[in-house]
């Protein structure tokens, strides 16, 4: 609705034909005209300058609309004003406009000059640069005319210098993970008939193979989308859906494995029947991810909201409980909490079995068993992904942010199952 309003106001201003300098001044809109060769006008404290040979420049200032327009630039805060510039009776294709935006938030130090792209329904910085910036204002220069504003990033952006390193770590880690998963699946195929001696073994290996297969497919999709700038929109959408589906399916099979393990520990004398396990695990591992991904895509398509970001080929995070990323975060968060509970049950069961024997040797063996459980179950149950939730909750200027980002990248890209 806000984007439609902005488009309507721009069209209205474009169709206003004036012959002399005049203007409109109200609480949320300021409109001014300039017909001199060197135009220098001000709207809502924003100085606008442009050199032109002929024609009439129309400058419109809009207040209290910025926070209602979509902003996909991460870790940025919108200012309260935007400026729309149009020309009447001028066909010059090489125009440059300069705007001096007063800095509203002193603790936000990194400015970004942007314009509203009505096709993308989002802000874009194409053709706009920041020429100067200090504690009081930010000077923007653009080579086209439309609606402009400034997005401010908070704090130090030094983590951006580590992005190439993070990309290399991710690529290497995913390469190692893919090779390891292929080796694991090959071994499982060779020894399958030999290791499946009981229902419990069949349950465990079925879950592990499904986790490995979906992890492999998700990693391949992630690598294929690592350069979104060379992908078409359709390919970007396809890879986003694939990553969403495959990672969700991986976590759902992790849930099946953890629930099966806890059931076997608690109900020792009531083992799961093979048909029952395969039925319910198929529903959870195959049907549920398809329903979640399909319903979220349909919802965002028919509510005219963006399902994916073409800059990253991944789901969109706007703010808490807003954005398509929550169709991934909410089910994954629920699964991780369930798996943490399952891990706690396993550890408590190990401790209880060692209570009657109080010797130091038994205590050491129990500690070793608990350590083995934690080391083995942490990646298998997806517990390392908890770091990603901390990353989302932390501010980018937090001193621990870089450590959390590197930890998440290393632990999850090199994960082999």
CA dihedral of residues 168, 170, 176, 181 (deg, nearest 10) = -160
Q: Which residue has the higher pLDDT, 378 or 243?
A: 243
pLDDT score, position 223: 92
Among 23-32, 69-78, 246-255, 299-308, the range scoring the smallest mean pLDDT is: 69-78
Among 160-164, 192-196, 232-236, 373-377, the range scoring the smallest mean pLDDT is: 373-377
pLDDT score, position 244: 96
Query: For residues 407 and 301, what is the distance between their CA atoms, to the nearest angstrom?
Result: 34
Q: Where in the chain is the domain with CATH 1.20.1070.10?
A: 159-413
- At the second CATH level, the architecture of 2-155 is Sandwich (2.60)
Q: Which residue has the higher pLDDT, 16 or 412?
A: 412
Residue 143's nearest CA partner among 105, 185, 115 is 115
Q: Where in the chain is the domain with CATH 2.60.220.50?
A: 2-155
Residue by residue, DSSP assigns 296-318 as: HHHHHHHTT--SEETTTTEE---
With 90 as the cut, is the pLDDT of residue 125 above it? Answer: no
Determine what percent of the chain is predicted with pLDDT higher than 70: 83
Residues ≥6 apart with Cβ < 8 Å to 343: 258, 373, 374, 377, 378, 381, 383
Query: For residues 217 and 62, what is the distance between their CA atoms, to the nearest angstrom?
Result: 47
pLDDT digits (tens, 9 = 90+) for 174-191: 999 999 999 999 999 999
Among 101-105, 135-139, 305-309, the range scoring the smallest mean pLDDT is: 101-105
pLDDT digits (tens, 9 = 90+) for 1-16: 777 877 787 777 777 6
pLDDT digits (tens, 9 = 90+) for 306-357: 898 887 889 988 777 788 999 999 999 999 898 888 888 877 777 776 555 5
pLDDT score, position 355: 53
Query: For residues 18 and 206, what is the distance between their CA atoms, to the nearest angstrom?
Result: 75
Q: Which residue has the higher pLDDT, 405 or 368?
A: 405
For domain 159-413, the CATH superfamily is Rhodopsin 7-helix transmembrane proteins (1.20.1070.10)
pLDDT score, position 416: 59
| Residue 135 main-chain phi, psi, to 5 deg | -75, -10
Residue 402 vs residues 75, 255, 325, 378, 397: alpha-carbon distances, Å: 14, 30, 22, 22, 9
């Amino acid at each position: 609705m806000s984007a439609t309003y902005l488009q309507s106001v721009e069209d209205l201003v474009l169709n206003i034909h004036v012959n002399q300098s005049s203007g409109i001044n109200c609480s949320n809109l300021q409109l001014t005209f300039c017909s001199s060769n060197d135009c220098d006008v001000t709207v809502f404290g924003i100085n606008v300058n442009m050199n032109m040979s002929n024609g009439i420049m129309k400058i419109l200032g809009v207040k209290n609309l910025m926070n209602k327009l979509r902003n996909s630039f991460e870790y940025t805060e919108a200012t309260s004003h935007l400026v729309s510039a149009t020309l009447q009776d001028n066909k010059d294709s090489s125009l440059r406009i300069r705007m001096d935006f007063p800095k509203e938030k002193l603790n936000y130090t990194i400015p970004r000059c942007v314009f509203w792209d009505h096709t993308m329904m989002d802000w874009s910085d194409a053709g706009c640069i920041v020429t100067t910036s200090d504690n009081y204002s930010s000077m923007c220069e653009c080579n086209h005319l439309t609606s402009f504003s400034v997005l401010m990033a908070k704090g130090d952006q030094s983590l951006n210098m580590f992005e190439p390193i993070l990309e290399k770590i991710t690529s290497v880690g995913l390469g190692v993970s893919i090779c390891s998963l292929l080796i694991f699946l090959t071994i499982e195929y060779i020894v399958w008939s030999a290791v499946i001696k009981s229902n419990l073994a069949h349950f465990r290996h079925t879950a592990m193979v499904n986790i490995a297969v979906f992890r492999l497919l998700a990693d391949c999709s992630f690598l294929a989308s690592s350069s979104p700038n060379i992908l078409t929109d359709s390919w970007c959408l396809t890879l986003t859906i694939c990553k969403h589906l495959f990672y969700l399916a991986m976590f759902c099979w992790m849930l099946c494995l953890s629930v099966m393990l806890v059931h076997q520990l608690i109900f020792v004398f009531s083992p799961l029947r093979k048909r029952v396990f395969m039925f319910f695990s198929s529903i959870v591992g195959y049907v549920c991810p398809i329903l979640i991904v399909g319903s979220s895509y349909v919802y965002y398509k028919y509510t005219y909201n963006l399902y994916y970001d073409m800059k990253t080929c991944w789901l969109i995070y706007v703010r808490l409980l807003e954005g398509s990323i929550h169709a991934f975060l909410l089910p994954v968060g629920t699964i991780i909490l369930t798996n943490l509970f399952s891990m706690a049950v396993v550890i408590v069961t190990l401790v209880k079995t060692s209570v009657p024997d109080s010797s130091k040797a038994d205590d050491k063996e129990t500690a070793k068993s608990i350590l083995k459980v934690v080391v083995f179950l942490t990646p298998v149950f997806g517990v390392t992904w908890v770091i990603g939730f901390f990353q989302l909750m932390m501010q980018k200027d937090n001193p621990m942010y870089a450590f959390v980002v590197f930890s998440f990248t290393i632990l999850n890209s090199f994960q082999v199952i």
